Amino acid sequence: MTPMIAVRKLVKRFGLKTVLRGLDFEVQAGEFVALVGPNGAGKTTFLRILASLSRPTMGKVRVAGYELPAQAAAVRRRLGVVSHQPLLYGDLTAEENLRFYGRMYGIPALDARIDEVLELVGLAARRRDLVRTFSRGMQQRLAIGRAVLHDPEVMLFDEPYTGLDQDAAAMLDEVLHTVAARGRTVVMTSHDLARVEALATRFAVLSHGVIAASVRRDNLAGENLLDFYRRTLQEGQASA
């Protein structure tokens, strides 16, 4: 089976600093992988490379059958991305933002899809308000709506719960369950181990620029994710 995401010997350097050190990683179609690791491990850098927002220094990266960075345009059409930056236009309304992206992706029956997405993220009542008047949490809601608007094959979420209140976090849980139920491929970074343990089908620990361990939820063998995570980091320190 051809993986939806395939990364081989990925290296990323910023000047003299090496962030990713020959990373190997695969995600099969329909998997929901939680990428966890300490601050500075390279999680955001890795997702930015998968999203074609940053170029690798060395190595091979394929997403949805296309090679990065050479075929970045084809990859972007198949991606939905939620990052630390909302990637929204502040001087447009919520509805206008979704319409802009919807036209860019050529979404059929766009009006109905916009209505559906605004209801999904709880912003139907604010559809005609300028995005620059939104709180950080509301902008994150709309960014999630933009990311799922075109029903992409692959979803990348980088700490998507940041800035969300309890209701918005519950909304995101519902969105993630819906995306997973549709057989879409998801990679998500998060420091909320309890939350991702309930959502993801596999967990990968990124430490010192490589995948230190990976396990399916069904194979945690009596451990919870926090115990697995701590043990992985401790074993990595002992072998360093």
Going 166 to 167 to 168 to 173, the CA torsion angle's sign is: positive
Using the predicted structure, report yes or no on whether residue 116 has a pLDDT greater than 80.
Answer: yes
| pTM score of the predicted model | 0.93
Residue 203 token pair: 């967990």
Q: Per-domain residue ranges for the chain?
A: 5-239
Nearest CA-CA partner of 117 in 100, 134, 94: 94
What's the pLDDT at 240?
Answer: 54
Provide the 10 A C-beta neighbour count for residue 91.
Answer: 9
Structure confidence at residue 150 as a pLDDT band (50, 70, 90) = very high
**CATH (one of 3.30.420.40, 3.40.50.300, 3.40.50.10470, 3.90.1150.10) for 5-239:** 3.40.50.300
Number of other residues whose CB lies within 10 A of the CB of residue 23: 23
Return d(Cα 239, Cα 130) in angstroms, integer.
53
**Mean predicted confidence (pLDDT) in 58-84:** 95
Whole-number mean pLDDT of the chain?
93
